[in-house]
Amino acid sequence: MKPEIRQTITDAFNAAVATSPYVDEVVPGIVTQDGGAVTRRDLAAAWLQDDAFFAHIDNAMANGKTLDQVIDKFRRGINTSIVPRG
């Protein structure tokens, strides 16, 4: 993946995290090594530090997804609550 594409993804994900009202929701079923809660913010930050995450995006783009589609999917996801209603 070209460094400028990686930076575009990083910037877009960080911007989406910064504006999401749901970013501090705890992700069910995921904990830290010491058993602490993991928020969606924590998860996004971890992804952006993981070369395998970028390889996954690179693969998706090699198989027809556009960069805009990848970013849009994340934006829609981070702006949707994962807490069950009712």
User: How many CB atoms are located within 10 Å of the residue 13 CB?
Assistant: 20
Residue ranges of the chain with per-residue pLDDT less than 50: none
What pLDDT was estimated at residue 85? 74
What pLDDT was estimated at residue 86? 65
What pLDDT was estimated at residue 38? 97
What pLDDT was estimated at residue 53? 97
What residues does 39 pair with on adjacent strands? 26
Q: CA-to-CA distance for 55 and 80, rounded, in angstroms?
A: 25
What pLDDT was estimated at residue 52? 97
pLDDT digit string, tens, across residues 33-57: 999 999 999 999 999 999 999 999 9
Q: CA-to-CA distance for 23 and 1, rounded, in angstroms?
A: 27
